[in-house]
Amino acid sequence: MTTTTKGITALLAAGLVTGLAATALAGEIRIGVTMRMVSENGQKYGQMVVDEFDMINKAGGINGHTLDVTLLNDECKSDKGVANANKLIFQEKIHLLVGSTCSSVSLPIVDVTAKTKVPQIIPHSTNEKITQKGSAWVFRVPVSGRYYAGVNAKYVGENIGKKIAYLCAADAASQNDCEAMQAQMKSQFGAEAAYVAQVQEKEVDFRTHMQKIKSAGVDGIMIAALAETMARALVQSYEAGIPASVNRIGSSSASNSPVPAIAGDAAKGVFFTAAYAAADDRPIARLFNEMVRQRYGIHAPDHDFSQAYDLVRIVEIALGNADLKLDSANLAADRTAIRDAIANVKGYQGLASGPISFCAEATPQCRDGNRTAVLIAYTKGGKDYVTEVLARVTMPVDFGLK
């Protein structure tokens, strides 16, 4: 069955209508959310998830049932994420877990949800190992890093050059992005890394690395890190005298608005792969951009906003199709029914540039639902940054798997 969003009218209603009284409904579907909310954008990602579920309640719920949502901050710390997951599962008795933002948190949570047999749907984490664990209980809405690496490497090798330096932060997503990019450059072009540096996420001084990269005479620099770290590294690359002719390549977190806001002019020309571009000219994208600006004061929503929105829509479809009893005696059966209903979502068309589909097998082919990466470049930095779409590429379902 092919599924779509309920249309742009519903999207706008979800974003702009306020003050509706929630109807008293029978039964509750309990949803737990754990996300990284240590930055302003991170807080707004979490708020968007809660707001969108709340709008479903205000519109009448799902099959006569309200959604009871608990939002927790895991701060991108794996131990806190696991603690949040256990609290939500054992104390809140949730039917569904949403999370997390950081791959380093989602990875250990997959083991928790697999053991407790609770469906987990991931809003932002890209590390390819998440779905390679073989859990029957996990689904990924964002594009897997294995697809991003293939698209990035092809563009770089054909348009930039093969002598690439890598600055890789310690978080799981950045490590995966760096390793996968290097592997793809070698596989597609026989190119070895010109320079590789491993840095800590809280590190603030990259000038020694930048001087070494400058001396190496590279064609490009890949900076894989969370947004604030990436922005600092971009600025310091210019302070070290590396010219604009040396292309700056970002990991998917380059799409987050703190990157151009903090990096300013140093963001211009940076290109990266993501799941959504604010420069998308589809009507649904233009209206979504306006909704996010009005609701959250964001100049241009990055793909973490769009993925949070698409996740809620997919969950809404799945819950609507699940046969739920919603009593304590049937908690395990309801969790299984929700898992199976998510697995049956096929061809969802939303804000992502390509369809999102799942299936029942506990494999990356079935659980990496979004295979369409968007290649994006900044044409202007600063808070009023501007992007352009370079390409959209849908990858084969088996790409990057050994």
The reply to whether 139 and 17 lie within a common domain is yes
Residue 268 lies in a domain: yes
Work out the widest C-alpha separation in the chain, in whole angstroms. 67
Please tell me the pTM assigned to this model.
0.88
**166 and 245: one domain?**
yes
Contact 110, 172 (CB under 8 A): no
Backbone angles phi, psi at 326, to 5 degrees: 55, 50
pLDDT at 289 over 60: yes
Model pLDDT, residue 23:
35
Question: Whole domain around residue 235: which residue ranges?
Answer: 146-279+374-394
Task: Tell me, yes or no, whether 402 lies in a domain.
Answer: no
Indicate whether 259 pLDDT > 90: yes
Q: Out of 36-45, 46-55, 243-252, which region has the weakest mean confidence (pLDDT)?
A: 36-45
Q: What number of other Cβ atoms are within 10 A of residue 347's Cβ?
A: 12
Judgement on whether residues 115 and 165 belong to the same structural domain of the protein: no
pLDDT of 83-97, one tens digit each? 999 999 999 999 999
pLDDT per position as a tens digit, 114-127 = 999 999 999 999 99
How far is the C-alpha of 321 from the C-alpha of 13, rounded, in Å?
22
Which residue do the tokens 């294995």 mark? 146
Length, in residues, of the chain? 402
**Average pLDDT of the chain?**
92
Both 344 and 385 in one domain: the answer is no
**pLDDT by residue (tens digit) across 322-381?**
999 999 999 999 999 999 999 999 999 999 999 999 999 999 999 999 999 999 999 999
Specify burial of residue 120 (Cβ count, 10 A radius: 0-12, 13-18, 19+): buried
Q: Which amino acid is at 355?
A: P
Please give the average per-residue pLDDT across 189-218, as a whole number.
95
For the chain, the domain total comes to 2
Residue with structure tokens 């699940």? 322
Above 80 in pLDDT, residue 229? yes
Do both 128 and 263 map to the same domain? no
pLDDT of residue 27: 83
Provide the CA 382 distance to its chain's centre, in angstroms.
22
Confidence of residue 202 (pLDDT cuts 50, 70, 90): confident
Looking up residue 186, the CATH number of its domain turns out to be 3.40.50.2300
Return the percentage of the chain with pLDDT > 70, whole number.
94
Query: Is 98 part of any domain?
Result: yes
> Is residue 60 assigned to a domain?
yes
Same-domain check for residues 241 and 121:
no
Residues 95 and 8 in one domain: yes
